[in-house]
């Protein structure tokens, strides 16, 4: 990241959890942040969820699914989803 990128980012208004603003201002800022996956404006207050991290959520989830899948594969009486 170059110094110009840092200054460019600093000039752009962002959406932070707990900010208070109008719907128009929220939508303007939301459209300026293409990397933001989800943000909500509820009664004038901005809510931005924490990002899910691969090592604390995705990897353990994949490991658990693999273990359960292998257990079900080896047990004829297992029925996934019913």
CA distance 67 to 69: 5
CA distance 64 to 54: 14
Query: How confident is the model at residue 28, as a pLDDT?
Result: 94
> pTM of this prediction?
0.52
Question: Which residues make Cβ contacts (< 8 Å) with residue 34, sequence separation at least 6?
Answer: none
Highest mean pLDDT among 1-5, 30-34, 74-78: 30-34
What does the pLDDT average to over 29-58? 87
**Tens of pLDDT along 46-78?**
999 887 766 777 788 888 888 888 887 776 665
Write out the E strands in 1-82.
40-42, 45-47
Token code pair at residue 7: 């200054």
């Amino acid at each position: 990241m170059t110094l110009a990128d840092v200054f460019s980012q600093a000039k752009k208004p962002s959406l932070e959890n707990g900010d208070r603003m109008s719907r128009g201002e929220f939508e303007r800022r939301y459209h300026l942040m293409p990397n933001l996956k989800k943000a909500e404006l509820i009664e004038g207050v901005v809510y931005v969820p924490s990002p899910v991290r691969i090592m604390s959520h995705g990897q353990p989830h994949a490991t658990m699914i693999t273990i359960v899948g292998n257990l079900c594969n080896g047990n004829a009486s297992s029925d996934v989803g019913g």
